[in-house]
Every structure is written in structure tokens, then in C-alpha cells.
Amino acid sequence: MDIGSATFSIYRQLLPILASAGAGLSTLALLAGTAKLKRSKSSALPADPEARQPKYVLAAKQLLEQYEEHNPPPMETQSAIHLAITAFEQNRAASTPIKKSKS
Amino acid sequence: MSQDSQLERSITWGMIPFGSSGLQVRHLALWLGVGIWAALTLVGTQLQGFICLSLNIFFLALILLATWATRTISLTKMATSFCAGGFILGVISLLIMSVPPELTNDPLLRTLAIVPIEESCKLLPVFFLLWRGRRFSTWTLGATDILLLGAASGAGFAFAQDAYVHQSDPVRQFFFVLIPAAEIVSGRLSCGGAILSSLAAGTFGLGLLFAHRRAMKLFVLPLGLILAILDHFGLDYAQMPGAAPWLVATLNFVTVNGYLAAAIFVLLLLACIGADLYVLASSLPKLKELKYFSRKDRRESIDKLWDSSLDLRKLSFAFFRWRRKPIGGDLSLTVAILAKRLVNRYNALEPTSVTVTGGMSSAGLKVNFADTGKSIVIAPENLDQPLLSRSKELAGQLPVAAQLNLPERYHILQDGSAGGMGIVYKGKDTTTGAEVAIKVMHPQHSASKTHIQRFLLEARASSTLQHPHIVSLSDFGITDRSVAWLVMEWLEGKDLEQILKRERTIKLARFLKIFSQTASALAHSHSKGIIHRDVKPSNIILIRKGEEDDFVKIVDFGLAKMAPKDGEENFHLTLTGDTVGSPMFMSPEQCGGKNLDRRSDIYSLGCVMYSALTGKPPFTAESAGQLFYKQMYEMPPRPTSLNPTLEMAKTIEPLLFKALQKEPGKRFNSMEELYLELTRIGGLVSSSGFR
């Protein structure tokens, strides 16, 4: 095998690996876009980047405040809120505590 | 560096100066990575790489289309999985390069180790994303979501593998195949990485969704991966020296035949969609907050509606699991957060944004609300008008008292002040000796018979109201100069607007006292069929009665009905020269020119209550048009964000938001109901010692 063909062979082998490094960089960049998780301040939220969206943060905080006050909201008589409260109370009562973030 | 800026930096990876807002390093890295990946692969493999990429993308697009009714997974996650698949191919290639060729080419080792490892590795991005979302998002996934993740990972893997590795196969000849993402290996059609990974991930998703069933967990969950390994094994086995012909033939038929595997994949896809549809249709209780289109006239943009629809699907999947295996911890928290989020959405506690377009015409500025297809016209004189009282300006236009020609028994004692729909003078009833307030219609309306008739009609209606917290009307009439007038009790006190201007906010106990009286008065009015329509702080007068402070008197009853014509009602306050700040307290239906009922007063009172507790009206804007828009389409910030020391916030906030609902049907059913709630909270306050 001459040097030229050997170089070409190595090039052929390395090319997919170099290309995949680009894919890896893109993966990291995409993951980092939702990686507020570990650095977020709130402790009542599940440790998942998706749960850090404002709409979920608002809901979780409302549930936590409500739970801490031991005072069911008098105005909210819908059944759906009872579903939320029941599930939340079950979560608090469960042996697995909510993981606190490292802020 | 603050915590927020640290957080932002960790997400953006820093900023590069570019244009007006800069460029995120993370975005740059993302596109640089994609560029390197695509360029090196396409340059190295040319047309074949391009076609492989196109087929895999086409395959993903097809199954995305097929699963639009059930998927909850985001396109970002799919893109992550796709890129991760490409990365894993590189890692595997690197590992194989580091192993002696005689080992990698050993048929037995290849069959028993390398093939299962390769097929499992294609699913690593799926497993990683499931692990990463184990506290929330994983519970919200349906079977099709996991299938899609597997498909994306497999496609990312196969794109490069097919382009590079299989290209070097000596017997391979590229030709276009009828199954996207299929590949020709050793001269035979085989399903490609995307289909095999979809198979593996799809059964995994089904098993995960029905994990409460032991059989599903044990047999269905790993079935797809086993099929994928068998398919791959069949391919390699045929190349083994000494392979048994009957087994090769069987494997060729059962596994290597791409069309058969593709058919199995299609069946699995249908099974996943069917299972997800079953869960979506059957799992959630039939609650009005958990319906897709329970509010047909809900002002939500398409993307927000889609977002809510996805949340409802997520809740369905999470609830399905929670109901069957009601464990606590993360799953129940996921259900709680999603249910609460949907309740908030139903109650419109979340701000919405609506695109507004419009243009000037001779009639004024026409503002179009894209979501509703409706429009309002703002008169040219009201455009860009600052929200300031025009009382001083109007003071110069007051008619001379002597020219009013009021009945002789009434003497005017003080010059009048512009307010409400007319001008109020302090006077004296010479018959009784009592001080009275004499209100005359603004001269600009005196020429209009319609105005005069309506003024008198409303005066008659107001005279029927007998309530301690409603200013009493003792006489009314019309002068020979066509000036309509009313005589009311004289009130010595301050209006709520003055008090809020001085004190900014009021304490909870005082708030409850003032507004329970106000609600009681308005409830009485409603019971007589009279809607105030102009509830605002300046129409709530606080006087001292005997030993009692803060005795409420509501004024200006019924006068706000003086709309010049139908269709102009929404602008009556500005057109009549009253303070243009009144739209701060107008209901959405009032802003939209719709028919009003008593619930309009509930909204207006909600605005006043909000102002009293936070020191700011729910909405502020620089022009009446902007304010109309906000009243119709936006929710105000939480009161505690403006007044963190708000007492009993968890009780008061829901009350305020219920009164401030955009849809009348979502507010209190009646002013009486609001009054009772205020009274109930007043009882709680008394017992808890809030002062």
C-alpha cells in the first residue's frame, strides 16, 4: 500500500468519526438549551428541564403555597383542581421527597 | 456576577456581539456541529449520503405526520435524539477501530456481541432522554413518543452509517428503494437503522405505557429490540462461512426481508397510535377544565392552543399511569402540576398575547383582533390621548349657575365640579333646609332629545333604589333651557380615588369593609334590574356616618348608560368628556361593545378591588386603545407581585381573579355571591386578627 492510499484509507476511517463529533457538539448544544434544571432556584419543582417552563413553575408554586397554608382555595370549586391537589398531597406524603435543586 | 446572569451564561454559553442583540455561542455551536456533521458526511459520500439523509428525514416526516394526533414529544427532543444517533455511530466506529480486525470480523463474536451492542446503542439517546426526564417528562410520554425518539436516533445513526459504512460493501449497489430508510446490504433489501430502532423503541414505549401489566412489561417491552437484533443477526449470519442454507433462507424470509420488517413496523406504529388514542380518550375524568375546546370563544392563538393540547395529552398519559399505579413521588407531582396548569389555563390566569393589526380611516383607527376576527374603531380625537383626568379642562366649560333656571326651592351654594356624566353643585333645599347635591347634565348633551330622555329614564330608575349605601335621589326634572337635573343627598367625605391617591393601598380589614358595602349596594341595584356600568374609585364615596368611618355611598347610578348611540357604547366615557381613565375599570364586553349584564359590574368592581389592594389598576397604558386591548385579552399580574405584603393572599387572589375573568360566565354568578364571599372572608379576618 503506498502512502497515498494509506492516507486515503485513514481519511476514510476518520471522516465518519470527525463528522460524528459535529453531531455530538450539536447534541450538547441542544441539551444545554433546556439545562436550566440544575441551576434553577425553585425547590418545589421536579428535577426535569421540561418542568422549568413558566407555566409549570407557576402551577407548582401555587400548589406548594396552598399546601403549606393547609388552606384549600375557597374559590376554586372545580373538580380538576381537586385532582391537582390530591395528586400533590400524595406527592408530599410519599416517601420519596422532592429533590431539591443545588442553587 | 448575579445568579441570574450566571444562569443565563450557562444556558447561552456566552454571547458574541452581532447585530443589535448579539449571538448565543450555544446557537453558534449547534449550527457549527450540524454543519461539520453534514458537510463531512456529504462531502465524503456525495450523492449517496445526500440521498440517505433525505430518505431518513422523509421517513421521520412521515411518521411525525402519522402521529400528529397523539404525540407530545417536542421537535427539539427529536432533533437531540437525531444528532445523538449520529454521535453514537462515531463512538462505535472509534471503538471498532481500536479493536483488532480479526476480533470484529469473527462471526461468532460479531453475532453474539457486536450486533446486540450496536442495536442497543442506537437506543442510547432514547434511554438517556427517558432517564433525564424521569422526574417529570418521561411520565408524560405515550408509546408513539418513544417510538419517535427511537426513530430519530436510528435515523441519525443510519444516515451516516448507510452513507459511509455500507457504501464500502463490495456487493452493494445503490438504487432507490420504495421504503424510506431501508438499505441495501450485501445486495439485499434490509430495513435501515431508523425502522429497526423505531421497532425497538415502539415496543419499549408500549411496554412502558402498560407497565402495570406484567405481561406487557416482560414480553412486549423488549420485543422490538429482540426483533431488531434478529434482523441484524440474520444479515450477518448469511455472510458466515458454513452457514446452514435452511437457516439462511428462513432468516432471509423472516428477518432480512425489508418489506416484512417494514410491515411489522407499520403494524407496530398503528398499535402505538391506537394505544395512545385509547389512553387519550379514556383516561381523564370528564371535567370541563380538561376538555380540548371547552371554550370555543377562548382567545388563544394557534400555538398556545397547540401547547395546551399537548399539556392535556401529557396529563392523560401521566394520569393513566398514576390511576393504575397510584404511587407517590414524581408521578403524582407530574399529574398535580399538569392538572393545575390546565386549571390555570381554563381560568385564564396565564397571560395571553394576541396579534393586533389595524389602520387609519376617516372614522378613526380600526383595530383588528386576529383571533376573534372582530374589530373596534377608536375615534381620532381619542387616539394617543393620555390617561389623565380632563376635569380641569372641563371646569372652564361649566355653565353659569344662574343660567340653569332650577326650581326656586333649590339654591346653589358652591360652583360645580365636572364629574361623572354631568356637573355637580352643592346646593340647599330651602323647603327642608338640607344641603343637597344638584347634578345637571353636561350642556353638550342638552341639545339631544335622546340624551335628555335617557337621563330622565335613568333618573326614574335610580329613584327606585333604596339602599343605605346608594346615594339617595330626591328630585329630578328638566329646565326650560333643556338642562336635565337631579337632586341627591349631599355627601361630605372623600371618594376612593382620592384615598388611594394618598394612601396607595388599603389594609385588608378596611378593604373588606368598604367592598362588602359596595357589593351589597350593587347587588341591590342588580336586583332592581339596574346595572351601574361605571363602577370606579371616584364613584365610591366614603363618608362618616355617626361614629362609623368608611361608610360607603355609591354615586352616578345609571348615568353611564347614556351611550350616545348603539355601537358607541364602548367609548361613551371618552366621548362624553369624562376622565378617559375610566377604561381602566371597564369590562372586556364593555370594551368590545357587546351587550352588558350585571356581570360587567362584577368585573369593574374587581378592577377597583385590585387597585385598592395593589396600588395600581390591573392595566395601565398610554392610550385608551391600548387599554381596551389589555382589558379584552390580557390578565393582570398577580396581586402579590405588586404588593408582597398582601394579607391572606391565597384567599384574596382567587377572589380577584374570579372577578376579573374575561368571560362573564367564569366570574361570580352574581354580585350577591361576591358580597357573600367578601363577608365570609371578613369573618375569617375578624377571627384571625388581621387589622
CA dist., res. B355 & res. B368, Å (int): 9
CA dist., res. B166 & res. B187, Å (int): 11
Looking at chain B from residue 68 to 127, which residues have their Cβ under 8 Å from any Cβ of chain A? 76, 79-80, 83-91, 93-94, 97, 125
Looking at chain B from residue 325 to 354, which residues have their Cβ under 8 Å from any Cβ of chain A? 326-330, 332-347, 349-350
CATH for the B494-688 domain, from 1.10.3720.10, 3.40.50.2000, 1.10.800.10, 1.10.510.10:
1.10.510.10
ipTM confidence score: 0.75
Contact (Cβ atoms closer than 8 angstroms) between residue B384 and residue B623? yes
Q: Looking at mean pLDDT, say which of A30-39, B485-494, B568-577, B611-620 comes out highest.
A: B611-620
Q: What pLDDT shows up at residue B583?
A: 77
Q: Contacts of residue B133 in chain A, CB cutoff 8 Å?
A: 48, 50
**pLDDT tens digit string along B585-605?**
888 887 766 777 888 899 999
**Identity of residue B365:** L
pLDDT band at B223 (very low <50, low <70, confident <90, very high): confident
| Sequence spans of domains, chain A | 1-33, 39-93
Q: What is the DSSP string of B121-144?
A: HTTHHHHHHHHHTTTTGGGG--HH
The residue whose grid cell reads 502512502 is A3
Question: Which set of grid coordinates corresponds to residue B39?
Answer: 458537510
3-state secondary structure of B172: coil
Question: Which set of grid coordinates corresponds to residue B444?
Answer: 353638550
B410: Cβ–Cβ under 8 A, 6 or more apart, which residues?
Answer: B427, B428, B429, B430, B436, B438, B487
**Identity of residue B512:** L
Q: Contacts of residue B350 in chain A, CB cutoff 8 Å?
A: 55, 58
Most A-contacting residue of B37, B94, B669 (CB-CB within 10 A), to test interface: B37
- Asked if B335 lies within 8 A of A87 by C-beta distance, the reply is yes
**pLDDT tens digit string along A36-65?**
544 445 556 777 778 877 788 778 877 877
**pLDDT tens digit string along B103-162?**
777 777 777 777 788 888 889 999 999 998 888 899 999 999 999 999 999 999 888 777
Q: Contacts of residue A20 in chain B, CB cutoff 8 Å?
A: 37, 86-91, 93, 160
Contact (Cβ atoms closer than 8 angstroms) between residue B637 and residue B643? no
Q: How far is B333 from chain A (nearest CA, A)?
A: 5
| Superfamily classification of domain B391-489 | Phosphorylase Kinase; domain 1 (3.30.200.20)
Q: How many residue pairs from chains A and B have C-beta atoms closer than 8 A?
A: 255
- Asked if A50 lies within 8 A of B94 by C-beta distance, the reply is no
What average pLDDT does the structure give for chain B?
76
Q: Looking at mean pLDDT, say which of B30-44, B279-293, B504-518 comes out highest.
A: B504-518
CA dist., res. B557 & res. B28, Å (int): 63
> Which of B323, B408, B391, B303 has its CA nearest to residue B577?
B391
| Proportion of chain B above pLDDT 90, given as a percent | 19
| Sequence spans of domains, chain B | 1-33, 47-282, 288-346, 391-489, 494-688
Q: Contacts of residue A96 in chain B, CB cutoff 8 Å?
A: 328-330
- Indicate the Cα dihedral angle B307, B309, B311, B317, nearest 10°: -150
Q: Contacts of residue B26 in chain A, CB cutoff 8 Å?
A: 29, 32-33
3-state secondary structure of A97: coil
Least reliable range by pLDDT among A1-15, B326-340, B506-520: A1-15
Q: How far is A65 from chain B (nearest CA, A)?
A: 8
Query: Residue B166, Cα to own-chain centre: how many angstroms?
Result: 49
**Identity of residue A9:** S
Please give the average per-residue pLDDT across B451-480, as a whole number. 73
Q: Do B391-489 and B494-688 share a fold?
A: no
Query: Residue B196, Cα to own-chain centre: how many angstroms?
Result: 39
- Asked if A78 lies within 8 A of B289 by C-beta distance, the reply is yes
Q: Contacts of residue A77 in chain B, CB cutoff 8 Å?
A: none
CA dist., res. B426 & res. B545, Å (int): 19
Q: What pLDDT shows up at residue B13?
A: 78
More confident site: A34 or A47: A47
Q: Contacts of residue B48 in chain A, CB cutoff 8 Å?
A: none
Q: What is the DSSP letter of B552?
A: E
φ and ψ of B241, to 5 deg: -70, 135
Angle separating helix axes B649-659 and A54-69, nearest 10 degrees: 130
Residue A36 has its nearest CB partner, among B7, B287, B332, at B7
- Asked if B164 lies within 8 A of A73 by C-beta distance, the reply is no
How many CB atoms lie under 10 A from the CB of residue A8?
Answer: 12
Looking at chain B from residue 294 to 313, which residues have their Cβ under 8 Å from any Cβ of chain A? 311
Residue B156 has its nearest CB partner, among A23, A34, A63, at A23
What region does B19 belong to: left with phi over 0, alpha with psi -120 to 50, or beta?
Answer: left
How many CB atoms lie under 10 A from the CB of residue B249?
Answer: 11
A92: Cβ–Cβ under 8 A, 6 or more apart, which residues?
Answer: A67
Q: Is B23 on the interface with A (CB under 8 A)?
A: no
CA dist., res. B240 & res. B127, Å (int): 32
Contact (Cβ atoms closer than 8 angstroms) between residue B184 and residue B172? yes
The residue whose grid cell reads 431488531 is B228
**Identity of residue B227:** L
Contact (Cβ atoms closer than 8 angstroms) between residue B78 and residue B60? yes
Residue A46 has its nearest CB partner, among B7, B136, B327, at B136
Beta bridge partners of B439: B424, B486
